[in-house]
Structure 1
Amino acid sequence: MVMSIGAVILAAGEGKRLKLDAPKPLAPCLDKKLVDFPLREIQKFFSRNKLQGFRTAVVGHQRELVTAYIANRYADVKFAIQAQQLGTADALRSYFNSSAETHKFDFTLVICADTPVVSELELTEMLKLLVEEKCDAVAATFFEANPSGYGRIIRGKTGFHIVEEKDASDDQRKINEVNSGLYLLKTAYVLEHLKNVDSNNKSGEFYLTDIFKDDLNVKALTFPVGDIFLGVNNLEQLERVEKILRLKKIKELRDHGVRFIDSTHTYIDDEVEVGAGTIIYPNTFLSGKTKIGKNVLIEMGSQIKDSFIADNAQVLTYSILDGARLHIGAQVGPLARLRPGADIGEGAKIGNFVEIKKSVLGKGAKVSHLSYVGDAFIGEETNIGCGFITCNYDGANKNVTKIGKNCFIGSDSQTVAPVEIGDNCFVASSTTITKDMPDGAFAISRTPQVTKEGMAHRFIKKKQ
């Protein structure tokens, strides 16, 4: 029998302490927003456990922004509005009031939008306990050496209850098993008990924690590491969760054969893929949907975003790649920049102080020094000399340069696009190409040299 779950993401918070010009769910985290992480992990949780259901974000503060962001990226996510932030139980009531469908699921998952480290694994453990023990509700807990600010777990003979910090006695505050804010509940159970939750507490809020009772069939599942459940309320916590996520990613890659020279100064976002045998030097940033093959060399200071790098390629020191493709054995850098649309062929070489934009370089092509190539096609084994420029912009439109196979383009040359150079052509140094060249052609356009013997003294200035 297929189980069904309604997953609720609590995304109504303002996040004043973050001091950002955005609602808390849209606070940046790695190359995403905080809310992206629970949305993604819930979907993975559904897939792993073959669950049916849907995700609902409960929105409140600046809900138009939050709704627009989520809707543009997750077409299947539904929304419920919490008009006033009156506590977690009030948020869940808003969810159940949003649609009659929410009452029909076997289970209800409640997760905070500001807990980006929680993964499908923790959710799966909670589901396993709920099903195997036939519980009505499970709360994730952990032990915290300094539990200030957390709700305390008070265990009874059968179940447990949770006392919030403000309402706890001095003895209860000494307890260091704390509430994570992550819950998996039988829907029938939560509907039955939610209606009885009141705001008779020091905060005047409706606490979802009040549905847990000592004499009820509820379980506290204790996890060994509290960092999993770290919520983001300020910039220090945001930095901390980003570090945790990066270290988690680095461990995953290392376990699969990626070598790090200094992982403490390496920054990799969680969707990046890296193949075994690749070596990554410190102060590198790998972000977005970057995919790196096997036995690749990524040297110090490189920044790679949304790029594909095939096996045995090399990205040398302080090179920047954004939306680029490197084929097998290609080499880039040092100090090169590949902009979106740069496609570097097998064994091709891009050298120092070279910028490539929206251009395709064939197998074995070389642009080794101080050049700009934009909106161009360069054929196999063509060699581009130092100081080459494709003049691709006429003030209104970008135009294309095409250079064929096995060409030699001399230093300090330019092509004024649109223009096409055939295969096996030779362009002399300091030449400006404004007209098409057929296969096998030679072109030279520089002014003839004039030498005046004995005239140098007229131009050389002596220091006074």
Structure 2
Amino acid sequence: MSQAFLALILAAGKGTRFKSERIKVLHPLLGKSMLRLVVDSILGLKPQNVHVVVGYQKKEVMGEFTSGEVAFITQKEQLGTAHAVLAAKGVLKKYMNKDVLIMNGDLPLVRTETLKPLLTLHRREKNALTFLSAELENPTGFGRIIHSAGATRVIEEKDASPSERKIKEVNTGVYLFKIKDLLDVLPKVSNQNKKGEFYLTDVTGIMAQEGRKIGFHKTKHAGEFVGVNSRYELAQAIDVLRERKIRSLSEKGATILDPRTTWIDLDVKIGADTVIYPSVIIEGHSVIGRECRLYPFTHIRDSRLGNRVEILGSTEIVESVIEDEARVGPFSRIRPDSIIRKKAKVGNFVEMKNTVFGKQSKAMHLSYLGDCEIKDSVNVGAGTIACNYDGREKHKTLIEEGAFIGSGTELVAPVKIGKRAYIGAGSTITKNVSPGALAVSRSKQIEKKNWSRRKRKK
């Protein structure tokens, strides 16, 4: 918006109805906290400054944001929304000729485009106060909008009469004030109500009595103002965001075959012509390339997949990179700091951790590869174990290009397998193997004739 304004987000209360030790506004929805979503929506309006009023668990709330992203104001006692705004008085009075957008921190579904008409109306009408209202089928938990004798006021649900509670037009908790008018009126707010709190909603009645100009914008996007006051309502809000995310990805060319069973966090990016099968979870800041296939029960977190990658069912990938045309799974586990290079293949019941797995290399069955550097075109046989931990420290295994590791091999780190070396099946390798060499380390086979028959006679 062209005209500078301030934003003030109210996030000091615990949210007792949430039945949680964690403050309500820090509960996550598709990888982002409730408060983070509100801040992101407001930042889309390009305010001059954003301030968050904190109180309960303020250190945790402040830790949600990077330095300088938003500023914080402490409300030492939580005595209501008007009291929270009053805590910001020292900041607000520096900007007496500007507007301030005030919004509750528990409105995670509100989009930037829903807020823009409020700013437009407020400036056009030159109002002292403009607030956002909505018509809700279930208005429980919201203050009601009372239109009477040409004036508009808001009454909190706890103080509303039975007939007033039937009103479906509600106060959404979004206000735009001229700061000068707001600071004039705030000290006049009383706590003479059932909760003994200072309500910001009372400002509307005081301003109306004093003849200050009040307006309201009744939004068409009432569904964005869902009261997230319980775990069930949190789940409902998540469902709305999930549908938005999947629709957005679909419009960009990704195929999500079953949106109802698919979980994709808000910061995830997915390329065109990628197909996501049912029961897939993709979390964090994961990036999935073009023309990939992610099969059922795949779980990916904070990882990057290249183009034309195939992830077979029941595979977990965490904080790792899978390069173009690689194939992983089924039943693989790729732990943090692993890199699977182009066209590599990792098969069933293979686990990797902090490992670089080279181009066109293969580990197809039942192996553990931890703290390894495996070069290109290496074959890792079934049942191979990189023994990387000596009880105190982790050690590295290096396997050079073109090496062949026979089935059932134990590689006791630190150890190096040279270029194109062969390791015989069932070996326990404790020393470096030269390039091109064959290394076999296992006990001599002994055969005792007729042993079984003698054993059965005993």
TM-score, normalised by the number of residues in structure 1:
0.91
Distance 1:211-1:350 versus aligned 2 partners, 3 A rule = same
Which stretch of the first structure deviates more once superposed, 272-281 or 166-175?
Answer: 166-175
SS at match of 2:217: strand
**Distance between the aligned counterparts of 2:332 and 2:310, measured in 1?**
12
Q: Which residue of 1 aligns with 2:89?
A: 96
Distance 1:375-1:241 versus aligned 2 partners, 3 A rule = same
**Distance between the aligned counterparts of 1:370 and 1:26, measured in 2?**
40
Does the CA-based 8 Å contact 2:23-2:56 persist in structure 1? yes
Q: Which residue of 1 aligns with 2:72?
A: 79
SS at match of 1:36: helix
Say whether residues 1:119 and 2:111 are aligned partners: yes
Does the CA-based 8 Å contact 2:92-2:179 persist in structure 1? no
Say whether residues 1:340 and 2:336 are aligned partners: yes
Letter in 1 for 2:179: T
Does the CA-based 8 Å contact 1:2-1:52 persist in structure 2? no
Distance 1:159-1:421 versus aligned 2 partners, 3 A rule = farther
Which stretch of the first structure deviates more once superposed, 55-64 or 84-93?
Answer: 55-64
Does the CA-based 8 Å contact 2:41-2:112 persist in structure 1? yes
Letter in 2 for 1:185: F
Q: Which residue of 2 aligns with 1:208?
A: 200
Q: Which residue of 2 aligns with 1:70?
A: 64
Please list, as runs of the form range in 1=range in 2, the aligned pairs for 1:157-306 lying within 5 A after superposition. 160-212=152-204, 216-306=212-302
- Equivalenced residues, count: 454
Letter in 2 for 1:42: I
The offset of 1:169, in angstroms, is 4.2
Distance 1:102-1:283 versus aligned 2 partners, 3 A rule = farther
**Distance between the aligned counterparts of 2:111 and 2:57, measured in 1?**
26
Partner deviation per Cα, 1:243-288 (whole Å, 9 max, x = no partner): 2221221111112122122111111111111111111112221111
Q: Which residue of 2 aligns with 1:401?
A: 397
Which stretch of the first structure deviates more once superposed, 314-323 or 138-147?
Answer: 138-147
Structure 1 spans left out of the alignment, 5+ residues: none
State the identity %.
37
Letter in 2 for 1:257: G
Please list, as runs of the form range in 1=range in 2, the aligned pairs for 1:9-88 lying within 5 A after superposition. 9-46=9-46, 51-53=47-49, 55-67=50-62, 69-70=63-64, 73-88=66-81
Letter in 1 for 2:449: E
**Distance between the aligned counterparts of 1:188 and 1:120, measured in 2?**
25
Does the CA-based 8 Å contact 1:70-1:77 persist in structure 2? no
**Distance between the aligned counterparts of 2:309 and 2:160, measured in 1?**
59
Letter in 1 for 2:439: A
The offset of 1:331, in angstroms, is 0.9
Partner deviation per Cα, 1:208-229 (whole Å, 9 max, x = no partner): 1233355643332222333312
SS at match of 1:353: strand
Letter in 2 for 1:174: K
SS at match of 1:20: coil
Does the CA-based 8 Å contact 2:141-2:227 persist in structure 1? no
Which stretch of the first structure deviates more once superposed, 140-149 or 360-369?
Answer: 140-149
Distance 1:106-1:174 versus aligned 2 partners, 3 A rule = same
**Distance between the aligned counterparts of 1:36 and 1:74, measured in 2?**
14
SS at match of 1:254: helix
Letter in 2 for 1:13: G
SS at match of 1:22: coil
**Distance between the aligned counterparts of 1:310 and 1:372, measured in 2?**
24
Distance 1:399-1:461 versus aligned 2 partners, 3 A rule = farther
Say whether residues 1:449 and 2:445 are aligned partners: yes
Partner deviation per Cα, 1:318-344 (whole Å, 9 max, x = no partner): 101110110001111111101001100
Which stretch of the first structure deviates more once superposed, 202-211 or 313-322?
Answer: 202-211
Does the CA-based 8 Å contact 2:349-2:367 persist in structure 1? yes
Partner deviation per Cα, 1:20-39 (whole Å, 9 max, x = no partner): 12222333433343222222
**Distance between the aligned counterparts of 1:439 and 1:106, measured in 2?**
74
**Distance between the aligned counterparts of 2:59 and 2:403, measured in 1?**
56
Partner deviation per Cα, 1:345-364 (whole Å, 9 max, x = no partner): 01111101010100111111
RMSD of Structure 2 on Structure 1 (CA): 2.3
Letter in 2 for 1:95: A
The offset of 1:171, in angstroms, is 4.3
SS at match of 1:241: helix
**Distance between the aligned counterparts of 1:22 and 1:187, measured in 2?**
32
Does the CA-based 8 Å contact 2:93-2:179 persist in structure 1? no
Partner deviation per Cα, 1:355-376 (whole Å, 9 max, x = no partner): 0100111111111100001111
Distance 1:381-1:206 versus aligned 2 partners, 3 A rule = same
